[in-house]
Amino acid sequence: MARDTRERLLTTARDLVHASTYADVGVDDVCRAARVNKGSLYHFFPSKQALGLAVLDRNWELMRALLDQTLGVQGPPLDRLDAFLAGYASMMRTMREHLGVVPGCPLGNLAAELSAHEPVMRARITEVLAAWTDRIADVVREAQARGDVEPTLDATSAARAVVACIQGYSVLAKAEDDPEALDPLRPLVRTLLLLPR
């Protein structure tokens, strides 16, 4: 029962933050939507920041699962990266169906909103973005080893550019409330990695 309550609070907070912003979602909002009293929330999350960190970690857990499902399989590296980008776009479509809006990248939204004034959140967001970048850099290195990508290209810089493209297109999809705004992302990333240096 306690685990169910914690999960309901976390899922509710995540959905509310995605549909709005971290700053706009109060503890009372989460408790009301989850139908849980405030004491129960504070039992699991001693502060709003603790709840926010749990939301961030859940977002990373879901992103990491997508990375594992697409990048952590056999096959040509650039095809696996393409599968990740397709999966990401599919995730945005699913979130739109669930929330009624395209929320943009859950990790990017928190980074944009909180990094300037929440040092604890900024530190965790930085770790998460670095781990995401590392996963993509590994795929770029594999593609380089196969001769698919220029070997002199710095894999980490290329991976950061890919994450930046994902973030930029996510902002466009959010602004336009249209997950189809992510469609150019896949060919753009492939072109970015294949450009002669």
Q: Is 33 inside any structural domain?
A: no
Instruction: Kindly tell me if the per-residue pLDDT of 196 is higher than 70.
Output: no
Instruction: Kindly tell me if the per-residue pLDDT of 58 is higher than 80.
Output: yes
Q: Is 141 inside any structural domain?
A: yes
Q: 10 Å Cβ neighbour count for 133?
A: 20
Range of the domain at 159: 52-194
Q: Is 174 inside any structural domain?
A: yes
User: Which amino acid belongs to residue 84?
Assistant: F
Give the model confidence (pLDDT) of 149-168 as tens digits: 999 999 999 999 999 999 99
Q: Is 5 inside any structural domain?
A: no
Q: Is 40 inside any structural domain?
A: no
Give the model confidence (pLDDT) of 89-145 as tens digits: 999 999 999 888 899 998 999 999 988 888 999 999 999 999 999 999 999 999 999
pLDDT number for residue 194: 85
Q: How many structural domains comprise the chain?
A: 1
- How far is it, in rounded angstroms, from Cα 116 to Cα 179? 28
Q: Is 45 inside any structural domain?
A: no
Is residue 163 within 8 Å of 137, Cβ to Cβ? no
Q: How far is CA 59 from CA 34, 167, 187, 192, in A?
A: 19, 15, 25, 27
Instruction: Kindly tell me if the per-residue pLDDT of 197 is higher than 60.
Output: no
Q: Is 31 inside any structural domain?
A: no
Q: Is 144 inside any structural domain?
A: yes
Confidence of residue 73 (pLDDT cuts 50, 70, 90): very high
pLDDT number for residue 138: 98
Least confident stretch, 19-23, 62-66, 167-171, 182-186:
19-23
pLDDT number for residue 195: 64
Q: Please state the rounded mean pLDDT for residues 58-86.
A: 97
CATH number at residue 61: 1.10.357.10
